Amino acid sequence: MKEIEKLIEETIKNKKNSYSPYSNFRVSALVKTKSGKIFKGVNIENAAYSPTICAERSALASAISNGEREFSYIIINGDSKDTFPCGVCRQFIREFADCDTKIVIANSADDYKIYTIEDLLPHSFSKKDLEN
């Protein structure tokens, strides 16, 4: 089994940890750092709705909180076919993804598509804009 297929299976398995009693829509995300570590996240909803955090930000927050900054994979699996990251998550991913970061929209280990952040958020505002 290819590495990406194993990562997808792990992502899907983790969806059981989604805390989504309001939408009943589960999302799981897994990030692999360039140093080889894996961090997982799920969507975590809230009775007040707006404090909800998406799975992608949850996984990245965990990795970043543990000192990681560079990512080789961001794998996403949700309850709909081709669950893509929301706009807020795309901007959040923009901060830490480079052109080598594979963003994988996964339905199963043999049904997935790979994107870059440039594909998902073209013409973005990023830290480069603040360099001057």
Active site residues: 56
| Residue number, 32 or 57, with CB nearest to ligand THU | 57
x/- string (CB under 6 A) for ligand THU, residues 8-27? Answer: ------------x--x-x-x
Footprint of ligand THU on 86-105 (CB under 6 A): 86, 89
Alpha-carbon distances of 115 from 12, 19, 61, 62, 132, rounded to whole Å: 18, 27, 21, 22, 29
Closest Cα partner for 103 from 120, 78, 91, 82? 120
Asked if 76 and 85 count as a contact pair (C-beta separation under 8 A), the reply is: yes
- Closest Cα to residue 89, out of 71, 103, 107, 108? 103
> For residues 33 and 88, what is the distance between their CA atoms, to the nearest angstrom?
21
Report if residue 60 touches ligand THU, rule: CB under 6 A. no
* Bridge partners (DSSP) listed for residue 59: none
Q: Which is nearer to ligand THU, 3 or 22 (CB)?
A: 22
Residue 56 or 68: the one with the smaller Cβ distance to ligand THU is: 56
Q: What is the nearest approach in angstroms of ligand THU to the Cβ of residue 55?
A: 4
Q: Does 74 bind ligand THU (CB under 6 A)?
A: no
Residues near ligand THU (CB under 6 A) are 20, 23, 25, 27, 43, 45, 52, 54-56, 85-86, 89
